[in-house]
Amino acid sequence: MSKIIIYEHINFQGMSKEFTSSVPNLVSENFNDCISSLKVIGEPWVAYEHTNFQGSQYVYEEGEYATLDRNDAFSSLEKVTEDLANPQITLYEHTNYRGRSLVFTTETNLCYGNFNDVASSHKVQRGVWVLYEHINRSGAQLVARASRDMPEYEPAYSQIPQPPIYMEG
């Protein structure tokens, strides 16, 4: 069973709470903006800056995170429930799924091709993808899911100041 255990302090100290399903509002769980370390068992989880899965997004795969880059900044948690075995995403050059398009089924660095800083929208056919602002899985992150196609990267997700250049499926 996939679950996330969140802790009030770094190094898994202080109050803790365990979740096995998504939490749209950590305020109601008395754990808003106070997560400093966490453990993920099973499938990945996405932590959001704001309630109801809004704002900046941070993906945590299975493992232990004794300290977090975004300490005390999360207001909702979402469990990844999609099948991750065979992902597929289509990136489009222009907004509203227009212009040139490229289909990806594996992790890709867009810096090495002719689509670097070009993508403006996407549709996910299968799985879940993490789109990164910079290479090496760095910068702002955008979690892309089949149920949430993105017709325009700006202004809907202003935390991605430019088109994604690195993708992990």
Which has more pLDDT, 2 or 142? 2
Q: Provide the domain limits for residue 133.
A: 88-168
The pLDDT assigned to 6 comes to 98
* Contact (CB, 8 A) for 15 and 8: yes
Coil/strand/helix, residue 111: helix
The pLDDT assigned to 38 comes to 97
Instruction: Select from 79, 108, 142 the last residue of a domain.
Output: 79
d(CA 34, CA 26): 10
The pLDDT assigned to 167 comes to 52
β-strand partners of 97: none
Q: Are residues 10 and 67 in the same domain?
A: yes
Q: Are residues 93 and 164 in the same domain?
A: yes
Q: Are residues 71 and 108 in the same domain?
A: no
Sheet holding 98-104, edge to edge: 98-104, 88-94, 121-126
The pLDDT assigned to 168 comes to 58
Number of domains in the chain: 2
Q: Are residues 50 and 121 in the same domain?
A: no
pLDDT in tens, 59-106: 999 999 999 987 789 999 999 998 888 999 999 999 999 999 999 999
The pLDDT assigned to 169 comes to 56
Neighbouring CB atoms inside 10 A of 23's CB total 23
pLDDT in tens, 146-161: 888 999 987 544 444 4
pTM: 0.81
Instruction: Select from 79, 100, 128 the last residue of a domain.
Output: 79
